[in-house]
Amino acid sequence: MFDIVIIGGGPGGYVAAIRGAQLGGKIALIEKDTVGGTCLNRGCIPTKAMLASADVYNKVKEAADFGISVENYSVSLEKIVERKDAIVKQLTGGVSSLLAYHKVTVFNGNGVIKDNNSVEVTKADGSVELVEAKNIVIATGSEAATIAALGYDGVNVMTSTELLNLKEQPKSLLIIGAGVIGCEFASVFSSLGTQVTLVEALDRVLPMVDEEISKRFTMFLKKKKIGVNTGVMVEKVVKGSDGMVVSLNNGKELVADKVLIGIGRTYNSKGIGLENVGVEVGKRGDILTDTKMKTNVENIYAIGDVNGKMLLAHAASAQGNTVVENILKGKDEDADVTFVPSAVYTFPEISFIGLNEQEAREKYDVKIGKFPFTASGKALCIGEKDGFIKVIAEAGTDKILGVQIMGPHATDLICEAVLAIRKGLSVEDVAKTIHAHPTISESMMEAFEAVHGLAIHSI
């Protein structure tokens, strides 16, 4: 009997499996596809690989600004996808090697819970094997949401999964949903030369980010000639003589070669045997858990996207680590997702942690510090001056309430703020930390100095 059997080999499942093995546990991992989950195979990594190609193309187009002459350059979406696939293959192979090194027993097949100590695995050849364990961890993740009424066919109307494998670049692309998924793909395809249009039901793009950043980012989208339609909904999508005709509820019709449905994700909680043991599921299909990721059934846990708490790969990994440490080391800790950063891989990048300005003003007397990248020497040198850093602090205590970043390397810079907030550092603690010059990271120091009106390089 295993100590833990984990259903799902994504960033929640495989990380939990390796950590469990590191702690001396006998671990089994069940995966019906390729290890790495959505993140590694159909999400985080593939999109970043394509964004990197788009970034190179942007740099080539801007080469003259750097004194470099480049002629006869072109885009091959097929080769971009080939590069993406090679990166994914290398990383999934690496994960498989790590699992083998740590002696995690991997079962390839579909896992269905039979009782709170056993999972039945049906393999590709139809054979069935029963895996018994003292504890079961569900890490089945989520998948791209589709709406049949919008004409989803995986060819002309598609999700991110199909778009990532498109070999021929569309002349035009309409994206339903201007959240993280929609805006990231808008950045990729518009940079490569596709005419992109965004349609968002809410009143602004990236509705989850700070309002000032959302408005500023919308300006950048329009500057890149990306169509932005907010506060409208798609009523239907039909095939016309010139492409896919998208009808909006304001009476407007838009036409595009391809349509991407980027409206979110659905939880993979069906077909895994939850009904066999009575695991409670929410109205949205999310598996209900407490702060320790325990379900209502003894010995059964749920981590990552499938519990609906936070649909981020790094949150899934953190939850997985906490669960296996609680099980194997006798701990009783919460899987705290208070200090989880969010990252949006667009041009420019966006990241944030904690409260945004609107949220903070509702609860606190706040002080704001901002530093624009136009005042950063390094940002000007690399030609990426769009955006700013905003620090939100409590006026009376100097407590850091949140940090919002839009600009070069925003998704890397945010980690300094995460550590500062997690360890309870004050604004002054970060402001007085010496940062190397010239770097993008010293803009963080200046933004924190700006909270007290002490930034050197901005007014």
Domain span(s) for CATH 3.50.50.60 in the chain: 2-143+266-329, 148-263
User: Under CATH, to which class is 348-451 assigned?
Assistant: alpha beta
Distance CA 3, CA 26 (A): 5
Structure tokens at 127: 């054979």
**pLDDT of amino acid 322:** 97
pLDDT given at position 146: 85
CB 316 within 8 A of CB 303: yes
Give dist(CA 142, CA 124) in Å, integer. Answer: 21
Rounded Cα distance between 414 and 263, Å, is 26
Q: Give 142's contacts (C-beta < 8 A, 6+ positions apart).
A: 38, 265, 266, 267, 268, 305, 306, 311
Distance CA 74, CA 360 (A): 46
Give just the sign of the alpha carbon dihedral 13, 17, 23, 25: positive
Contacts 24+ apart (CB under 8 A), 285-289: 287/138
Distance CA 205, CA 217 (A): 8
Q: What is the pLDDT along the chain (459 residues), one digit of tens a residue?
A: 999 999 999 999 999 999 999 999 999 999 999 999 999 999 999 999 999 999 999 999 999 999 999 999 999 999 999 999 999 999 999 999 999 999 999 999 999 999 999 999 999 999 999 999 999 999 999 999 888 778 899 999 999 999 999 999 999 999 999 999 999 999 999 999 999 999 999 999 999 999 999 999 999 999 999 999 999 999 999 999 999 999 999 999 999 999 999 998 999 999 999 999 999 999 999 999 999 999 999 999 999 999 999 999 999 999 999 999 999 999 999 998 888 999 999 999 999 999 999 999 999 999 999 999 999 999 999 999 999 999 999 999 999 999 999 999 999 999 999 999 999 999 999 999 999 999 999 999 999 999 999 999 998
Give strand pairing partners of 416: none
Structure tokens at 298: 């003894």
Task: For 91-133, give the DSSP string.
Answer: HHHHHHHHHHHTTPEEEESEEEEEETTEEEEE-TTS-EEEEEE
Write the Ramachandran bin of 13: left for phi over 0, alpha for psi from -120 to 50, otherwise beta.
Answer: alpha
Closest to 213 measured CA to CA, from 57, 29, 351? 351
Place of tokens 């009575």: 278
For residue 13, how many other CB atoms are within 10 A of its CB? Answer: 28
Summarize the chain as % helix, strand, coil (round to 5): 35, 25, 40
pTM over 0.85: yes
Q: What is the pLDDT of residue 264?
A: 85
User: What confidence score (pLDDT) does residue 260 get?
Assistant: 97
Distance CA 350, CA 343 (A): 6
Q: Give the C-alpha separation, 17 to 100, whole Å.
A: 11
Which pLDDT belongs to residue 266? 93
Q: Which helix (H) or strand (E) holds 39?
A: helix 37-42
Contact 83, 51 (CB under 8 A): no
pLDDT of residue 212: 97
Domain range 2-143+266-329, CATH architecture:
3-Layer(bba) Sandwich (3.50)
pLDDT the model gives residue 148? 77
Q: Residue with structure tokens 């060819």? A: 155
Hey, which CATH number is domain 148-263, 3.40.50.2300, 3.40.50.970, 3.40.630.10, 3.50.50.60?
A: 3.50.50.60
Residue 459: what pLDDT?
A: 84
CB atoms within 10 A of CB 432: 11
Structure tokens at 23: 């702690």
User: What's the CA gap between 244 and 247, in Å, rounded?
Assistant: 10
450 vs 367: CA distance, rounded Å: 10
User: Catalytic: 437?
Assistant: yes
Helix crossing, 211-223 with 180-191: angle to 10°? 20
Residues counted in the chain:
459
What is the phi/psi pair of residue 266, to 5°?
-115, 150
Q: Determine contact, residues 306/137, Cβ cutoff 8 Å.
A: no
Give me 307's structure tokens. Answer: 């519990």
**Active site residue: 435, 437, 452, 457, which one?**
437
pLDDT at position 246 is 96
- Which segments within 39-86 are labelled E, that is strand? none
Helices 77-101 & 13-22 angle (0-180, nearest 10): 30
